[in-house]
Amino acid sequence: MNIKQITEKFGQTIKWNALFYGLRKALSTFLTIALFKKLSLQDFSIWANIYSAIFFTLLWLDFGFRKSLPRYCPEFAKNKIILKKFITIIILFQALVLASLAPFFLILSVYLTKALGFAHKIELFYLGCALFVLEGILSIIRLIYYSQFWQRQFTLQMSVILVLKTLVSISAIFYLKTSYALVKSIFFLEALSAIVAISVHLVRLKPLYKNNLPKEKPQEEPIDFKKTMLQFVKHSLAMWISNNIKSLTERNFMQLFITKMVGPYPASLFKMANDGALIFYRTVIKTIGTTDTSLLAYVESDMNKEKTFPLAFRKLIHKIINLVIPLFGILIVIFIHFKHKFSNNFIFHAFIFLACCYLLEFMFSPYERVLEVKKRYYLLALAHIPYIFAISLILLFVLAKKISLLQILFAIHIARLTTLLILQQCAKRMYRVVFPIKKTSKALVIVGAITLFASLLMNIFLR
């Protein structure tokens, strides 16, 4: 593909990513708030911790594929037969790992019930084990769709299922009287919707392959499969290590960590604040998805990459700025006009702080993508040293019970931002990828004016 075709695909994929994520996050956040109000503290904590355990485990079973697949698909795509062989190997590998580790997750569930004091509700963890397997299978199917650029088909099918699941869940919230019956029903509905999604996506795969086969045999380029596969494994390992280190300060691990070390009530407050902040963060990160790596990877394989790479980077970071700056404006309006709507001050201030930190991180994330695509593993490792040091100190303070929850969150996100700033300086000096200050300033002025106008209107109509 030439640079025009690449950027067109980049734009199309972003639109479908944004549509699917916006719908899914809005529905899940609404359901979380409803369950927080209806469930008992213990049942809400069980629900939150089981989900954290499921997706944290699946994150660790990613093996770095989320970043390495977009990086190496352009390499394998030069030969369609080799590409099909490559994708088949990846899917079979993930399926084998999932099947072999399902019993481990069952054992882990038994341990968690005892460690967290939920031994009398072990059946909920068994439902969690079933959901773990189903979500893992669904993630493999999603990989098949996304590897063929079928985001539109996947989004349309999954959106219908999500809406129906949410409507039934809301009905359960209104009609079920006891907290325990409600939380069991929610787990059952999640598992049922996953089964339906898997069935629908599998049934639709064959027609998609049939309708999208090329009518003419494409020109193939020779590829050293063994050599390229070894490079892919090395890159996957590096990305897996990086992702797992970062996962120690992300929601799924933090939910379990805070519950165990601080208590279920602070953990529930953290979940509410963090889930609200993630609406903003994941609005942009899910909109971009893996297309940031794909865009840069396709350009990196171009013979004229010395000229096209800075152009592709500029398009990527401009798109991110256009997404992030308006969200800062929304946060300012929320901070000024909606503070009184929050019944808990900690949730409100933690939400604002976390949302701002997440958005700042994402603004500088393209520089990390550059070093990943360029395979500068030693620079990626060096930049994470301050982060690892900070996490170690936080753990010592937590064990000594000399640090508050808000201080923990502040230290974590300062460490994460420091790592990204180091990577930004490295990428800037090595590859001439500069931060667009002029573009950012223009966006800030426009969003600032709109935010001021919106704030004035609210002062008039909300008095």
Q: What is the pLDDT of residues 345-358, one digit of tens each?
A: 888 888 999 999 99
pLDDT digits (tens, 9 = 90+) for 354-374: 999 999 999 999 999 999 999
Residue 108 near residue 56 (C-beta atoms within 8 A): no
CA 46 – CA 159 distance, rounded (Å): 27
Distance CA 427, CA 373 (A): 11
Q: Which residues of 205-231 are buried (b: 16+ CB within 10 A; e: fewer)?
A: beebeeeeeeeeeeeeeebeeeebbeb
Q: Say how far apart CA 393 and CA 411 lie, in whole Å.
A: 9
Q: What is the DSSP letter of 302?
A: S
Whether 434 has a pLDDT exceeding 60, the answer reads yes
d(CA 361, CA 421): 9
- Quick one: pLDDT at residue 355? 92
What are 367's two structure tokens?
């520089």
Compute the distance between CA of residue 452 and CA of residue 333 in angstroms, rounded to an integer.
Answer: 9
Mean pLDDT of the 316-330 span: 91
Measured CA distances, 303 to 3, 299, 306 (Å) = 11, 8, 8
Residue 150 pLDDT class (50, 70, 90 cuts): confident
Helices vs strands, H then E, count in the chain: 17, 0
Instruction: Enter the pTM of the model.
Output: 0.78
Q: What is the token pair recorded at 236?
A: 């996957």
Determine the pLDDT at residue 249.
Answer: 86
Alpha-carbon gap, residue 289 to 311, rounded angstroms? 20
Identify the three-state secondary structure at position 214: coil
Half-sphere exposure of 290 (CA within 13 A, CB side): 19
pLDDT for res 89: 85
Q: Specify the long-range contacts of residues 384-390, CB closer than 8 Å, at least 24 apart.
A: 384/242, 384/245, 384/419, 386/415, 386/418, 386/419, 386/422, 387/245, 387/415, 387/416, 387/418, 387/419, 388/245, 390/414, 390/415, 390/418
Residue 5, pLDDT above cutoff 50 = yes
Q: What is the pLDDT of residue 216?
A: 47
* Strand runs labelled E in 319-424: none
Which residue ranges make up each domain of the chain? 3-461
Q: Is-contact 45 270, C-beta < 8 A?
A: no
Q: What is the mean pLDDT of the chain?
A: 82
Give dist(CA 52, CA 267) in Å, integer. 12
| pLDDT given for residue 359 in this prediction | 93
Average pLDDT over every residue of 54-62: 77
pLDDT of residue 462: 63
**Higher confidence at residue 338 or residue 388?**
388
Q: Could you count the other beta carbons within 10 Å of the beta carbon of residue 41?
A: 12
